[in-house]
Structure 1
Amino acid sequence: MKAIINGKIITKNDVLYEKVLLFNEKIIDIINKSEFEILKKSENVEIIDAKDLYVSPGFIDVHIHGSGGYDAMDGTVEALETISKVITQNGVTGFLPTTMTMSKEKIYSALDVMKQCMNLQLHGAKVLGAHVEGPFINKKYKGAQKEDYIKKPEYSFIEPYKNVVKIITLAPEEDENFDFISKVKQNTNIVMSIGHSDASYEQAVDSVEKGISHATHLFNAMTPLRHREPGIVGAAFNSDIYCELIADTIHVHPAVFNIILKEKGKEKIILITDSMRAGCLRDGVSELGGQKVIVKNNSARLEDGTLAGSILTLNRAVKNFMENTDLKIYEAVNMASLNPAKSIGIDKERGSIEKGKYADITLFDNDFNVKNTIVEGRNVFKA
């Protein structure tokens, strides 16, 4: 048994002081110090002294392309292993490696490796499944995705991987009669997310009624909110779908954080990184989906200036969101832990510090600098 002492334990509804967190692979209990003093006399306990750090549920990144010089589309175990290890230094304990709009062969190769890694014990964060971003998107809002491989939504394309894919981003206006959305909803548990889309407000609302339950990096690569054309953003605000947000203060102005908070509420916002392979590296030249990317001044852009994912880390996203709103720390942390877990249906196992859930834990200081990360009870990162 392991015990974390002298920490400020972040639960989904509070911050607990003067408590001890007990765990093995899963969380055993949260007990009083006095109870622990008695327990350790009879039990063999490995003690971790948090030294007044926050003890938080590990973060879950449901939209990340890469980090540490590797990309999910590299299609190798080495790539996912490296990403898995690197992101633990940002408090991430679980993630959905995210594909790009590339050839079917490249996407399948990447998904095969993701499937393999779901069943491996990597040395870092756990691969929880895959997020397929494209190729079923709109050319007008392709962003940093490659136009050559964009195609109409096709159920047979994703059917072989329906037990691997957790989220698929698509442009519903490209889905004739919403056939794809209907088939996915009827035959799988895949979350469908509207993104890289030119849908009108009406089309977006219709797609939500048919099965869309998520919006990919809200505001970015989609029709905006205008007073006569409310667009996808308007439809997201007028529905109860989950909304991803890249809270790097570059993709979205920090003043918008409060707007989305008022419109969506704290339980429907999911903080993501959308990080590409240059994440956690220095400025320089990188690559995304076969395209040259310039990394400079905390942003990643194609040569024409188009934003190409981000180099954001999830601990910074939580910090940025909290600093620009009135949220309490546990409410901000939920946006990177419990909310993403709920959105993909794994909140009974992960996403918060609760008895019986996996011991996915991260320890950080008052400035959100991560000092220790634990995945399923194993210590995978220590600063």
Structure 2
Amino acid sequence: MIIKNGRIITEKGIIEGSVEIDKGKIIRIYNDKYPKGEGIDVSGCFICPGFIDIHIHGIEGHDCMEGNIEAINEISKALIKYGVTSFLPATMTEDLKKIRKAVEIISNTKSKGTAGAKILGINLEGPFISPSMAGAQDPKYIKKPSFDTFKDLANDYINEIKIVTIAPEEEGAVELIANLNSIGIIASVGHTNGNYDDFIKGYKAGIKHCTHLFNAMTGFHHRQPNIVGGVFNSDVTAEMILDGVHIHFDAVKVALKVKGIDKIILVSDAMMACGLCDGLYSLGGQDVYVKDGQARLKDGTLAGSTLTLSKALYNAVNNLNITLIDAIKMVTSNPAKLLKLDNEIGYIKEGFYADIVIFDDDINIKHVFVNGEMKF
């Protein structure tokens, strides 16, 4: 199959051309028009790598903690229309039995395959976080960081856990970070009340990533750089929720100047209200009130988002004064690199999986392909 006559977004720039797909992979890129033969003509549109969302809790009425395959599969189908071709379902800080069940269900769904976006693994957001920076996580289920507790949660699916959020100041955190690092699991600093020294201890133990930079962590101060300062002064990647609510756009610009495009990953952190109207929903067993698209607990605490990754990309292009090429990196190649999957997804390259999204100048999604199969 040929996707022809589009503007192909590559790591080196945008080229006019066509992409040939066979057996689920990109087999040839044509650097010119392709008028002859069968194919999908996408003239005027961009041909882009599929978006990768490494932090999402739910969408369109479903949650990753529901504990059944149908819910995870419905999430995978809903994500497609927003250009997401692969994702990490994110768990919440809840009862350990419920987290264990969610890990099992997500893993089994991954092995069976989904009808929409591909599951790349699991993002374990908690329970190893700070009670004082719980955010929308239920404090009563928070646990002291422990590799034994982690192994109990992961059970037989430890290889499916890709990211674990940890507050480095908590007792046992440094040991857990080191253990995770030793087996190739990404330790992510987040939901933390730690200071700069706490970050450095965690970083030396193996922290590689930051969960929703600026949110649920201690901010930068010139006499105490804190967690944000540690992220700024290190080579960890940082995810950001670019909805204009969680972070001021100018604060994002500062982070980009300090970290550079290659170290920032856009995530949705979406909850079940994403794609639906305002109303009462739930997240992590707590009531969430959505008004004007903002998801909050009763006390006003932000509780995930209703953001889609396509909207995050739109916001990046229209509010951060960056190029489309740079914005695309934050939802494609950057997350692929973090997950060490940049040899198979995240780029339009020959030999890579044909995870492709077609969109227009306003980032309206037109077509989505997963492993070469049109899903939208």
In the superposition, the TM-score normalised over structure 1's length comes to 0.94
- Measured in 2, the distance between the counterparts of 1:274 and 1:300 equals 11
The separation in 1 between residues aligned to 2:267 and 2:7, in whole angstroms, is 24
Cα deviation digits, residues 78-116 of structure 1 (max 9, x gap)? 111111011111100000000000011100110111111
Question: What TM-score results when the alignment is normalised by the length of structure 2?
Answer: 0.96
Contact between 2:93 and 2:137, CA under 8 Å: does it hold in 1? yes
Q: Is the 8 A contact 2:59 2:270 kept in 1?
A: yes
Which deviates more from structure 2 when the two are superposed, residues 4-13 or residues 164-173? 4-13
- Pick from 244, 247, 253 the counterpart of residue 248 of structure 2: 253
Q: Does 1:135 align with 2:134?
A: no
Q: Is the 8 A contact 2:107 2:160 kept in 1?
A: yes
Corresponding residue for residue 31 of structure 2: 32
1:150 to 142, 146, 154: 142
For the Cα contact (< 8 Å) 1:13–1:331, is it kept in 2? no
**One-letter code of the match for 2:137?**
Q
Contact 2:65 2:99 in 1 (8 A): yes
What is the aligned residue count? 371
Q: Following the alignment from structure 1 to structure 2, what is the Cα–Cα distance between the partners of residues 177 and 286?
A: 32
Matched to 2:78, the amino acid is V
Residue pairs, 1:295-374, within 5 angstroms: 295-374=290-369
Shift of 1:31: 1.2
Inter-partner Cα distance in structure 1 for 2:145 and 2:124: 12
- CA deviations 1:208-245 (Å, max 9, x no partner) are 11100100000000000011111100000000100000
Decide whether the 8 Å contact of 1:12 with 1:331 is kept in 2: no
Inter-partner Cα distance in structure 2 for 1:296 and 1:364: 29
Residue number in structure 1 paired with 2:9: 10
**1:378 and 2:349 aligned:** no
State yes or no: 1:225 paired with 2:220. Answer: yes
Match of 1:73? 65
Q: Aligned-residue CA RMSD in angstroms?
A: 1.3
User: What is residue 93 of structure 1 aligned with on the other side?
Assistant: 85
1:376 deviation in Å?
A: 0.6
Tell me if structure 1 keeps the 8 A contact 2:54–2:89. Answer: yes
> Alpha-carbon deviation of 1:54?
1.0
Q: Residue 167 of structure 2 contacts residue 173 of structure 2 at CA under 8 Å; is this kept in 1? A: no
Q: 2:337 aligns to what SS in structure 1?
A: helix
Query: Shift in Å at residue 162 of structure 1?
Result: 2.0
| SS of structure 2 residue aligned to 1:249 | coil
2:265 to 256, 267, 270: 270
**Contact 1:258–1:324 under 8 Å retained in 2:** no
- 1:35-88, CA deviations, whole angstroms, 9 ceiling, x for partnerless residues? x567x4xxxxx4111131111100000000000100000011111111101111
Pair 1:244 & 2:242 matched: no
Hey, what's the Cα distance between the residues in 2 that align with 1:278 and 1:157? 31
Deviation of 1:337 after TM superposition, in Å, equals: 0.7
Q: What residue is the counterpart of 2:165 in the other structure? A: 169
Report runs of 4+ in structure 1 exceeding 4 Å deviation.
none
Whether contact under 8 Å (2:166, 2:173) holds in the other structure is no
Residue pair 2:5, 2:32 contacting (<8 A) in 1 also: no
The answer to whether structure 1 residue 21 and structure 2 residue 33 are counterparts is: no
Q: Is the 8 A contact 2:146 2:172 kept in 1?
A: no
Q: What is the distance in 2 between the residues matched to 1:75 and 1:244?
A: 26
Contact 1:182 1:210 in 2 (8 A): yes
- CA distance in structure 2 between the aligned counterparts of 1:31 and 1:55, rounded to whole angstroms: 12
The equivalent residue for 2:51 is 59
Offset at residue 341 of structure 1 (A): 0.7
3-state secondary structure, aligned to 1:267: helix
Q: Aligned-pair distance for 1:177?
A: 6.9
Could you tell me which runs of 5 or more consecutive residues in structure 2 were left unpaired when the two chains were aligned.
none
Alpha-carbon distance in 2 for matches of 1:136, 1:197: 10
